[in-house]
Structure 1
Amino acid sequence: MEDVKRTHLPLGSREVDAATLKAFAHPLRMRMYDWLKDHGAGTASMLAEAMGESTGQTSYHLRQLEKHGLVAEDSTRGTARERWWEAQGFSYGLDTIEADPETLTTVQLVMRQGAEARYRRQLEFIERQVEEARDWQEVVTFNEFTTRLTPDELEAITEEVFTVLEEHLARAKARRREDGGVGTRMVKMYAQYFPLPPDA
């Protein structure tokens, strides 16, 4: 069977190498990265308060994340003394693991941490859902679909879903430049597709 390389990278992300993944797979760095994703941007001081760490610690780990392209400075904010940082999207594929088999352990650690973070966020939302305004409650979606597909069919679904997302997010970003983000909230959207065991 011909070896097919899946090339689609989600929502402006870049594919990283084994060294970058290993640098990322530090508990505090992963927590800081998740916090930046959830809040859009932040400073070393803000991260220190949120993480319960010193500013020296968060500044050091921000420099390491920046070195590997996992965060970038938001040049529209901050001062020479207080820099603002944004998380940068990334992905990793089979080539990364095949180039360095030991990377599999790192990949599993990163994926496990991500799965646990998603679980915590979903439970947290369920606990406070009744406190949300009705217009937000009405647009929340918790869906699950299970069906039989080939790898090519699943890839086609992924391509189309991400294409639609990219179009909507680009339009939303353009509107934010015009209205300053009035009425907006940070929103979590997850996309997870994986095969069940062969005997399922």
Structure 2
Amino acid sequence: MTAHEIVPGVDQLKALTHPVRVRMLGILRVDGPATATTLAARLGINSGATSYHLRQLAQHGFIEDDESRGNARERWWKAAHQFTVTGDGKVPDTADGQETLSAYLQTVVTIYTQQLQAALEERELLPKEWREVFNLNDRVVRLTPSQAHRLGEQVNEIVDGFEDDPDGEPVAVQFHTFASPGRLGPDPEKD
């Protein structure tokens, strides 16, 4: 059984600053166990590179052997956790910790952007009922940091309240909370 979540340390988080590893981990979490060959085909990379990235993920505790599958010729991998939890309160407030967190978040944003672009490109090929649920939503509300935190918790509670439907399809729910860019950072005119 897969553990619910992992709060990675700085060294573990460094292993997730590579987009291929984040994508692999996502595939294993959503689609279940796979071999290096299967993942290589899905990701469009060679099996040697795939095996290297799988070993890195395993070394840092994100994936593990799925001993219930395979044989002596093929090795199956599975996610060790369902979620990776990060953020300022989760990594040391050191230069290395913050730099690693920023690199990881940059990787995640890149992958979210790629997923959203792929979903948009595929949208017109979907059945009508799936085209109708395609939703891009951009709302701006004025909140304090504690209200923004509470909003994120409430959205996660709503999503967690939905149980997987065996007849359902994986649906990506991307929810982002951030201060509107250019409003709270350093004022370039004052520097």
Given that residues 18 and 100 in structure 1 are in contact (C-alpha distance below 8 angstroms), is that contact kept between their aligned partners in structure 2? no
Gaps of 5+ in 1: 1-10, 177-181
Tell me if 1:61 matches 2:45: no
Larger fraction in helix: 1
Report the alpha carbon displacement of residue 106 of structure 1 after superposing the two structures with TM. 2.3
Matched residues, percent identical?
Answer: 28
Q: Return the alpha-carbon distance in structure 2 between the equivalents of residues 51 and 131 of structure 1.
A: 21
Residues 75-96 of structure 1: per-residue CA shift (max 9 Å, x gap): 5544453333344321223245
Gaps of 5+ in 2: 186-191
Q: Summarize the alignment of residues 68-107 of structure 1 with structure 2, pairs less than 5 Å apart.
A: 68-74=60-66, 77-87=69-79, 88=81, 89-107=83-101
Aligned residue pairs, count: 179
Partner of 1:127: 121
Q: Return the alpha-carbon distance in structure 1 between the equivalents of residues 88 and 4 of structure 2.
A: 19
Q: Return the alpha-carbon distance in structure 2 between the equivalents of residues 74 and 27 of structure 1.
A: 23
Report the alpha carbon displacement of residue 195 of structure 1 after superposing the two structures with TM. 1.2
Root-mean-square deviation (Å): 2.7
Indicate how the Cα distance of structure 1 residues 12 and 150 shifts in structure 2: closer, same or farther if over 3 A, else same: farther
Report the alpha carbon displacement of residue 43 of structure 1 after superposing the two structures with TM. 1.4
Q: Summarize the alignment of residues 1-200 of structure 1 with structure 2, pairs less than 5 Å apart.
A: 12-37=4-29, 39-74=31-66, 77-87=69-79, 88=81, 89-168=83-162, 171-172=163-164, 175-176=165-166, 182=167, 184-196=168-180, 197-198=183-184
Given that residues 96 and 103 in structure 1 are in contact (C-alpha distance below 8 angstroms), is that contact kept between their aligned partners in structure 2? no
